[in-house]
Amino acid sequence: MRKNRCFRKPVLLAKIHGFLCLLFLTMCPATSVAEEVRVAVAANFLATLNEIVTTFEQDTGHVVTVSSGSSGRLYAQIKNGAPFDVFFSADVMRPRLMEEEGLAVQGSRFTYAVGRLTLWSPGPTMIEGNGKAMLLSDEVEHVAIANPKTAPYGAAAKEVLQALGLWEPIQDRLVRGENIGQTFHFVFSKNAQLGFVALSQVLGHKVNGAGRRWDVPAHLHAPLRQQAVLLHNGQDNEVAYAFLDYVKGATSLNVIERFGYGLE
């Protein structure tokens, strides 16, 4: 009996060892085998990009990993070595800066969409009127905007408020989302009654255009030209090129337009 035990112990250990090895192997990401492209995307374009990514992955078998945030945060992260191949910004300024600073491949920059800003109220209390009247309504306690310093949609919202002469008077109603995604969430969760969000978010499948909205006339803010750029990291990555081509293709352009964006 005793002998037996001594004999069995190593077998048990070997079994455990084998199991752990297997466990470890299954936990290793498969991406080291599959061709992969790592994409950083401004929050307003996330839902749209996800749809494009789905068809791209089905068509090509490649893998796209997507990270989203405010353009400002992503820019700062890439500048400090974040391992992304492609950057979809919500503005022109940051991709241009990246080209100048050698973080991006010269000449790879292109406008993939022109954003539309909308002032949205999900209900149940519908804010009546348009623009100014909505913003000044007694029903409104908080108006959500994206942080103008880090998010281009926030900067556009600030320009609109300034054009309406409301930037100062409405200060104590403003809450700032870290990016347009959080801004949308503030309104969606009804913590804010109104918010300047991307039209693409309201038209996305979570909301399907429900609620009341005032699409901000384009002349009230500088156009939200959104540019993408191939980053230094991705210049030897074939999949990055393939993905950028795919985004410029007809299938993707249809998706982009369906989400309410303009094209150039």
Partner 1 sequence: MNVPEMDWGPLWLTLQLAGVTVVVLLVVGTPLAWWLAFTRSRLRTLVEAIVALPIVLPPTVLGFYLLIALGPHGLIGGPWKDLTGSALSFTFTGLVIASAFYSLPFVVQPLHGAFEAVGKKPLEAAWSLGASKLDAFFTVASPMAVRGYLSAVVLGFAHTLGEFGVVLMVGGNIPGVTKVLSIAIYDHVEVLEYTQAHFLSAVLLIFSFLILTIVYTVNRRLPVHVS
Distances (CA, A) of 166 to 124, 132, 143, 162, 261: 25, 8, 12, 6, 26
Stretch that binds partner 1, among 81-89, 103-111, 142-150, 256-264 (CB under 8 A): 142-150
Q: Are 46 and 201 in contact (CB under 8 A)?
A: no
158 touching partner 1, by CB under 8 A? no
Of the candidate residues 176, 213, 221, 225, the single one contacting partner 1 (CB under 8 A):
176
DSSP 104: B
Stretch that binds partner 1, among 28-36, 44-52, 183-191, 248-256 (CB under 8 A): 183-191
72 touching partner 1, by CB under 8 A? yes
Q: Are 98 and 75 in contact (CB under 8 A)?
A: yes
73 touching partner 1, by CB under 8 A? yes
Q: How many Å apart are CA 86 and CA 66, to the nearest integer?
A: 10
Q: How many Å apart are CA 121 and CA 139, to the nearest integer?
A: 11
Site string for partner 1, 3-42 (x = CB under 8 A): ----------------------------------------
One-letter amino acid of 101: E
Nearer to partner 1, 31 or 191 (CB): 191
User: How many degrees, rounded to 5, is the angle at CA 164 between CA 195 and CA 175?
Assistant: 30
Q: Are 109 and 95 in contact (CB under 8 A)?
A: yes
Nearer to partner 1, 142 or 212 (CB): 142
178 touching partner 1, by CB under 8 A? yes
Stretch that binds partner 1, among 17-25, 58-66, 175-183, 202-210 (CB under 8 A): 175-183
Interface residues with partner 1 (CB under 8 A)? 70, 72-73, 76, 79, 141-142, 144, 147, 149-150, 174-178, 186, 189-192
